[in-house]
Amino acid sequence: MRKEIERTVEVPEGFSVGISGNSVTIKGNGKELSREFDLGRLSMELSEGKIKIYAKNGTRREAAMAGTIRAHLKNMINGLKEDFVYKLEICNVHFPMNVKVEGDKLVIKSFLGERKLRYAKILDGVKVEVNGNVITVSSHNKESAGQTAANIEKATKIKSRDRRIFQDGIFITEKCGRKI
């Protein structure tokens, strides 16, 4: 059954929004985020300090897509207000590992006694700090911060060994203020 779909996102004072076609640019607090959406049959417009996502005769799928786009826009606004922070913990039972940031990569030395270095890619606009056995990943873009944290965790993934015995690795312990 088709029905009228409308989702709105409030734009706080001091923030400016530019919509051109499928791309949205939000500026505020000296930062800027832009993203391109696949709108399909949805339309997006800015009116009276609100971003409105709507469709005249929308299906259930388009209603879901409108909700997803609304969530992405809210994450963009929240990221410009305050950075998204992920915390990871370095756990080593067998061999102590050395972790340091070099340019756009995180270098992991002597993981499980390996001589080969392991690397994790750090995406653009993401800050990574290593303090003792805690790694802090922060960015105003939620997806970049989350993907960088996942890259770091994946770099120390153990294959073909018993996980009950080999518990070494780098693990996400906190996502955007909530413990895991």
Residue 174, phi then psi, degrees to nearest 5: -150, 130
Assess contact for 22 and 39: CB atoms under 8 A. yes
State how many domains the chain has.
Answer: 2
pLDDT of residue 180: 83
Final residue belonging to a domain, choices 42, 62, 81: 81
pLDDT of residue 162: 84
pLDDT of residue 179: 87
Q: Are residues 31 and 43 in the same domain?
A: yes
The pLDDT of 93-98, averaged and rounded, is 87
Assess contact for 76 and 34: CB atoms under 8 A. no
Q: Are residues 55 and 90 in the same domain?
A: no
Over residues 40-76, the pLDDT tens digits come to 899 999 998 899 999 998 999 999 999 999 999 999 9
CATH number at residue 51: 3.90.930.12
Q: pTM of this prediction?
A: 0.89
Over residues 130-172, the pLDDT tens digits come to 999 999 999 999 999 999 999 999 999 988 888 888 889 999 9
Nearest one of 94, 11, 13 to 46, comparing CA atoms? 11
Assess contact for 118 and 67: CB atoms under 8 A. no
- Taking the C-alpha atoms of residue 114 and residue 98, their distance in angstroms, rounded to an integer, is 12
Q: Are residues 93 and 170 in the same domain?
A: yes
